[in-house]
């Protein structure tokens, strides 16, 4: 699977509205064939930083980046961010979330 983590820094006037700004993009991406997960979190240390963790089946990420909703999202996000987002993108073994072996709950 392709695992992608992206950090977005938002302008103060957009930080609280970020979930609304990315809602359509999030829903459309989650509906894509080959999307495994697409999850947003907010940094506890940096209040204007949003983290996107996403995964796709190996052959699905290219279609995602080429989609109309991806292009629309890039334009709708652009006015709300303070800098170019930072990204990690890797092909990893697996097909989704596994249980953490070091912290099992019975």
**CB-based contacts of 87: which residues, under 8 Å, 6+ apart?**
4, 5, 6, 7
Please indicate whether residue 10 or residue 61 has the higher confidence score (pLDDT): 10
User: Which residues share a beta bridge with 7?
Assistant: 51, 86
54 pLDDT higher than 90: yes
Predicted TM-score (pTM) of this structure: 0.92
Tokens 């249980």, located at residue: 99
Mean pLDDT, rounded, of the chain = 96
For 65-98, the pLDDT digits (tens) are 889 999 999 999 999 999 999 999 999 999 999 9
**Cα–Cα–Cα angle for 10, 78, 83, nearest 5°?**
50
Please check whether the domain covering 2-91 is classified as CATH 3.90.1170.40: no
SS3 assignment, position 41: strand
Rg from Cα positions in the chain: 15
pLDDT value at position 27?
98
Chain-centroid distance of CA 20 in Å reads 14
2 forms bridges with which residues in the sheet?
56, 91
């Amino acid at each position: 699977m392709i695992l992608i983590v992206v950090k977005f820094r938002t302008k103060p006037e957009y930080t609280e509205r970020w979930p609304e700004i990315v809602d359509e993009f999030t829903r459309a991406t989650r509906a894509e064939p080959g999307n495994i997960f697409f999850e947003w979190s907010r940094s506890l240390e940096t209040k204007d930083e949003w983290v996107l963790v996403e995964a796709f089946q190996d052959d699905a990420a290219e279609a995602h980046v080429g989609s109309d909703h991806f292009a629309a999202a890039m334009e709708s996000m652009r006015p709300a961010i303070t800098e170019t987002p930072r990204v990690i993108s890797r092909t990893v073994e697996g097909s989704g979330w596994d249980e953490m072996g070091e912290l099992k709950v019975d």
